[in-house]
Amino acid sequence: MSTISIFGLGYVGAVCTACFAKKGHTVIGMDVSEGKVGQVQRGESPIVEEQLAELLSEGVAEGRISATTDARQAVFDSQVSFICVGTPSDENGFLNTCYLKTVCEDIGLALRDKDDTHLVVIRSTVLPGLVRGDLLPILEKASGKKAGVDFMLAVNPEFLRESTAIYDFFNPPMTVVGGIDDEASDALAVLYQGLDAPMIKMTIEEAELVKYACNSWHATKVSFANEIGNIAKQAGVDGRRVMEVVCMDNKLNLSSYYMKPGFAYGGSCLPKDVRALNAWCDKESLTSPLLASLSTSNDNQVERAMAMIRESGMKKIGLLGLSFKPGTDDLRESPLISLAAKLLSEGYRLAIYDSNVNYASKNSPVAEQLWNSYGELFECLVEDMDQLVDGSEVVVLGHATPTFKAVADTVNSGRLLIDLCGYLPGVSSEDRQGICW
């Protein structure tokens, strides 16, 4: 077991102090508040949280929990330091990082005179880039040492809900570890051994953003449910019953199916239904800002792809896919059609390949309607995928199909590949760019 120092005895710090001690670690709580330190030393909880007082009292009685206002001593007497201080909003909505920076400087000054390798863990909620851009330099300057060589550094976001924080610590959905290197990630992961949850190792920046993604998604769900509830009441029905049924669908509604970054939505259902519901709200003079923003956000994703093509400075574009999703010939409200139309309107030389869209068939009423609606785009369709690639400077991967993936794997470095569907691994490079990665 390790000896852990926890900087900040507020909500997160106090819970982590009690729970790490319960796991058998020795924990030193550190805070500038003598009042909080005194409470923890007496085994009392500085906040209201179910089970916390009992665990703190138990840890103090068994000699696994102590508290101090001496930052230097806390670092010297431990192998790991968790930073759990608050990151409140400033008057402009940005993070107030003064507490974080002060603690990092205190820890760095202590590390200057400590010979043993120490692990510093940022548990506070921080925006992507803050640790590597702001906090790491403070630690290195104050310590005179280098992260990844003389001390270890990692980010470890918490997913604790107030009133159920103890349960959440021991039953997390996942444990996220973002180390500056594998050594830091592995050292941090050891502290969570025994918890029945996936251990997710990420980069520092990914770990920073995960917490914001989760919280923003929770806020979106609350706002969505409230707006549906408002619409339901206006329509004279019970919004609670409506959302109960929505939540019963674990195949789509409460799944990862629609939670993958990529291109815009389209097809015969989502665009028209979102428009219809917003039109109904307008007719009823009912404000639903979240629902009203969906079409704008969707259009923005098409414009984002367009901007990537413009920035390339190239004019010969090959588009792999035209229907609104793979495995269908349905062109209704396809975002790829919107993208293609923009390209043609701006003078790009466009070639399109989609094996499900038969450019030569104009005999059926449906085909005739499609031809009349998208005739200019049909003129861009080619039968040979290799011909499209050979004649293009930019290849746009619009569908995640095995055939198109094989093409993407073989596109040479002389062409720019733009991925709209999430096939490319890792983040963008100079000649292989993803729309969201």
Last-in-domain residue among 204, 231, 247 = 204
Q: What does the CA dihedral 142, 144, 147, 153 come to, rounded to 10 degrees?
A: -30
Q: State residue 308's pLDDT score.
A: 95
176 and 71 part of one domain:
yes
pLDDT bin (cut points 50, 70, 90) of residue 374 is: confident
Residue 366 above 90 pLDDT? no
Consult the annotation and say whether 332 binds a ligand.
Answer: yes
Consult the annotation and say whether 30 binds a ligand.
Answer: no
Tens of pLDDT, residues 192-222:
999 999 999 999 999 999 999 999 999 999 9
Say how many domains are in the chain.
Answer: 2
21 and 152 part of one domain:
yes
Lowest mean pLDDT among 19-28, 340-349, 351-360: 351-360
Tens of pLDDT, residues 411-423:
776 799 999 998 8
160 and 20 part of one domain:
yes
Last-in-domain residue among 204, 238, 263 = 204
414 within some domain: yes
169 and 52 part of one domain:
yes
In this structure, what are the phi and psi dihedrals at residue 208, rounded to the nearest 5 degrees? -60, -45
DSSP tag of 326: T
28 and 129 part of one domain:
yes
Strands (E), 101-206: 119-122, 152-155, 175-179, 199-202
234 within some domain: no
Residue 377 above 80 pLDDT? yes
Last-in-domain residue among 182, 204, 226 = 204
Consult the annotation and say whether 43 binds a ligand.
Answer: no
Q: State residue 59's pLDDT score.
A: 98
189 and 309 part of one domain:
no
183 and 309 part of one domain:
no
Give me the catalytic one of 19, 104, 269, 436.
Answer: 269
Consult the annotation and say whether 272 binds a ligand.
Answer: yes
| Residue type, position 383, single letter | E
172 and 301 part of one domain:
no
Residue 362 above 60 pLDDT? no
- The answer for residues whose C-beta is within 8 angstroms of residue 38's C-beta and 6 or more apart is 67
210 within some domain: no
Domain that holds residue 358: 297-434
216 within some domain: no
Other beta carbons within 10 angstroms of residue 226's beta carbon come to: 14
51 and 174 part of one domain:
yes
- Provide the percentage of residues in the chain whose pLDDT is more than 90: 80
186 and 306 part of one domain:
no
275 within some domain: no
Residue 372 above 80 pLDDT? no
312 and 193 part of one domain:
no
* Surface-to-core class of residue 229, CB atoms within 10 Å of its CB (0-12 exposed, 13-18 middle, 19+ buried): middle
- The answer for residues whose C-beta is within 8 angstroms of residue 94's C-beta and 6 or more apart is none
Work out the average pLDDT over 410-435. 85
Consult the annotation and say whether 141 binds a ligand.
Answer: no
In the chain the first and final C-alpha atoms are separated, in Å, by 39
44 within some domain: yes
Work out the average pLDDT over 86-103. 91
Residue 370 above 70 pLDDT? no
Q: State residue 236's pLDDT score.
A: 95
Q: Which of 227, 169, 130 is nearest to 27 (CA)?
A: 169
Residue 313 above 90 pLDDT? yes
Residue 375 above 90 pLDDT? no
From CA 421, how far away is CA 87, in angstroms rounded? 35
281 within some domain: no
CATH label of the domain that carries residue 161: 3.40.50.720
Q: What mean pLDDT, rounded, does the chain reach?
A: 93
98: annotated active-site residue: no
Lowest mean pLDDT among 20-34, 179-193, 397-411: 397-411
From CA 190, how far away is CA 200, in angstroms rounded? 13
